[in-house]
Chains A and B, each alone.
Chain A
Amino acid sequence: AQKITQTQPGMFVQEKEAVTLDCTYDTSDPSYGLFWYKQPSSGEMIFLIYQGSYDQQNATEGRYSLNFQKARKSANLVISASQLGDSAMYFCAMREATGGGADGLTFGKGTHLIIQP
């Protein structure tokens, strides 16, 4: 079974609208972290936001917020007031703590977001 599922291969959104990118995860580890990355067409991986499994509040970073619903194992990324520069691939990823913290991330396959003027 996939550990990270991103069900939207592609999305078209009008500029200035809010965007929600879906991510569900699967783990039996009580301690884990969830990450979102942006990959523009230039190819670099840009860290956006992090949510720990024990965090009581949803993480926010500027226009990015993470809608964390633990019981549903859902970690959706919300981008408020989208901009043309938000067009990119977006990846959800998870780190499980079973390896003592050194383990790498497990990534979803990504969502290609296109912001239209």
Chain B
Amino acid sequence: DAGITQSPRHKVTETGTPVTLRCHQTENHRYMYWYRQDPGHGLRLIHYSYGVKDTDKGEVSDGYSVSRSKTEDFLLTLESATSSQTSVYFCAISGDRGSSYNEQFFGPGTRLTVL
């Protein structure tokens, strides 16, 4: 199994509070991604990173920011959480060549509830 961990695995917070989710990989892969999963929508891309300090927006980036200061860590921050950000958040990684590029592996997910 690909070495991807997410923390926390579960979090309940209140509207208006900041929240940071962490993704950590041990595969030394170049690309990292944050997705959210909601009923009826499948998974949707929030932000992605193509290297240290290199990030870009995905389909549903409003209200989220990311940072990647090390190859192994990719942080997702909700500056001021809203109830619409209640979701399951998945981190994913892939390499930049060969078979590691053709396989995008996912972390175990973080279930976030915003009250």
Residues of chain A touching chain B, judged by Cβ–Cβ distance below 8 Å, are: 4, 33, 35, 37, 43-45, 47, 50, 52, 91, 93, 95, 99-110
Contacts and interface: CB of A to CB of B under 8 A. Distances in A.
A103 B103 contact: no
Interface residues of B, number: 27
Instruction: Specify the main secondary structure of chain B where it touches its partner.
Output: strand
A106 B45 CA distance: 7
B96 to A, nearest CB: 7
27 contacts: A33-B102, A37-B106, A43-B88, A43-B108, A44-B108, A44-B109, A45-B90, A45-B92, A47-B106, A50-B102, A50-B103, A52-B102, A91-B42, A99-B56, A101-B96, A102-B49, A102-B56, A104-B45, A104-B58, A104-B92, A105-B43, A105-B92, A105-B104, A106-B59, A107-B43, A109-B42, A110-B42
A102 B48 contact: yes
B35 interface: yes
Contacts of A103: 45, 48
A102 B50 contact: yes
A45 B106 contact: yes
Interface in B85-108: 88, 90, 92, 96, 101-106, 108
